[in-house]
Structure 1
């Protein structure tokens, strides 16, 4: 049965560790804390030896070394924790077969912990089903906006902080969906609240505004297909007095890069090699992959062209509202249905 990371962490306090665990999802805080809970439970049960097998970019883990570790006794303790880290959530054929063999006959002295940064239903396969057959699976699905107040309230309670509904809602608004920022604020509140219940006024006086509107998050929202976030962040940037030309440099770079990637993908080129050549971090690659699925190459070129028009508007060389046109371009990047807002953009 698939668990939430928080449910898995709560279960680890009692009983012997299962032979294998899979913790995956795009919420790094929840994946990290659930994995930390497994590590803590392992230490509590006398497991002090740990090996880590990591995947970086196109380089796969050393599967031969991992297979050897499955079969060799520990050096310092009777049981060991072996960690396999898969940022993309895909072990490949060799890795998947190795995991299945492990699960078919798990060594008594090994606990396997697999963590993954990317996860959808399509990631699941025989290897994950094999883990579920002998162990536990916890998936950190993105927390939906209507679920965030409940998550914040539960975390506040877990840190010994009481807050009324208005105070919780204000904290939700401040952290703007950033769970790492929420965790930091809640830890700070646990120190400052002095055991008292927090109302709206006290919450406002204690928390900092973590909902930062900057161009990097703006671009990420557009590339990740989040049109509502795009509009909200642009409104925030404009209210803070930012100037359009100050934003365009990074926007142009990202759109040009994605247009180039789109052309490479269209002709069957090696995207992994291009990511490496352009020094795109592993954690950012899924964002580009999602964006590339939404638009053909001609449209990415059209986006670059329209951003040029935004620059001319901002400099008074072309009539129009640069803020409005910038929003329309980025909304079109985020949502193909918004392409109609732009004039002369190829469908």
Structure 2
């Protein structure tokens, strides 16, 4: 049975523990909280022993998990066995071990599988077996247009009353960082004093928890969000970052899009190139939006321009390379990537 994270707590309270659970998705906070809820319910039910298996590579020995299914407990009559599967792909051997457990689960074991990435392509007989024996909880990323609704729900759960303007201000502050948002909501629950919160009071109560990091900076540009990219770049500069420290990621990502654009331009297999470039399913939409915005030759030029920004930042500009201000050059490049009409400015 499939569940959304916000329905899991009610389901756990309404029924005995199932033999198996899969919690998977790209949103770390939701995966963490759902897994914590299952762990807490297991402790309440007397599952006093917990074993953790990190299946984070091809070298993982699935026989150890299979042996643990069959072995008696040393310290408790009931055990929670947790498998951490970052890629969401157990492989043939892992799939058989998990499916075999779910076909005949022993009564003294609960299996919890957590995965950091998930899509329909990740599923298979093993996840179907978990869904049949227990529950599959999918925790996708909260999209920008969903963030305010998510915050409103979270505030209500914590007993905080906030008007629409206050929720909008909080959403602007956390910039999609759900871990920061959860911390701010918990803090508001302590500071609000049961009084309603408007935008001005929200401004005074919360800290600017936006994460101005280079990963999200590049994502903003690739997603076609020039204003957000400029704001993040200003935040990084204010935090004391240096342009050369940012350019490695910028050059790498632009090079990746340029490679994808070449394949697309010649009518090649874009899905195969995504795989070759090790682009996860959850990230492919970002690159597809970027590819739709510029032709292949322009992406090649962006790579060249990024190299120029890097040289300017390191004090080694080529003759005629302008502007001399590396921050301004990087800002122009990111805006050009995000907005086709601005491409001539870079």
TM-score computed with the length of structure 2 as normaliser: 0.78
Residue by residue, what CA displacement relative to the aligned partner does 1:196-254 show, whole Å, maximum 9, x if unpaired? 221222111101111243434313545xx4332x54132453488769x9334422455
Task: Summarize the Cα distance change of 1:14–1:208 in structure 2 as closer, same or farther, 3 Å threshold.
Answer: same
Matched, 1:125 2:120: no
Distance in structure 2 (CA, Å) of the matches to 1:170 and 1:135:
40
Select between 140-149 and 187-196 the one with higher mean Cα deviation.
Answer: 140-149
Deviation by residue 1:129-160 (Cα, 9 ceiling, x = unmatched): 11101100110111122221121111111112
Aligned residues of 1:307 and 1:329 also touching (Cα < 8 A): no
Does residue 107 (structure 1) correspond to residue 114 (structure 2)? The answer is no
Candidates 211, 222, 227, aligned match of 2:224: 227
Residue 338 of structure 2 corresponds to 331
C-alpha displacement of 1:303: 3.8
Number of positions where the alignment pairs a residue of Structure 1 with one of Structure 2? 318
Counterpart residue number, 1:24:
24
For structure 1, the 5+ residue unaligned runs are 276-283, 333-337
1:329 to partner: Cα distance? 5.7
Quick one: distance in 1 between partners of 2:68 and 2:11? 27
Which residue does the alignment assign to 2:179?
Answer: 180
Range with bigger deviation, 103-112 or 8-17: 8-17
Give yes or no for the alignment of 1:318 onto 2:315: no
Aligned 1:115-194 pairs, distance under 5 A: 115-194=114-193
Residue 125 to residue 155, structure 1, CA distance change in 2 (3 Å): same
Could you tell me which residue of structure 2 aligns to residue 202 of structure 1?
A: 201
Deviations 1:29-52 (A, max 9, x none): 000000000000000001111111
Question: Match for residue 7 of structure 1?
Answer: 7
Cα offset, 1:24, TM superposition: 0.3
Contact kept in structure 1, 2:230 and 2:335, CA below 8 Å: no
Q: Which whole-Å CA distance do the structure 1 matches of 2:298 and 2:92 have between them?
A: 35
Query: Structure 1-normalised TM-score?
Result: 0.78
User: Which stretch shows the higher mean deviation, 193-202 or 134-143?
Assistant: 193-202
CA contact (8 A) 1:6 1:30 kept: no
Could you report, residue by residue, the CA deviation over 1:78-124 in whole angstroms, capped at 9, with x for unpaired residues?
A: 21100011001000110001111111111111100000000011111
C-alpha RMSD of matched pairs (Å): 3.7
Q: Residue 87 of structure 1 corresponds to which residue in structure 2? A: 86
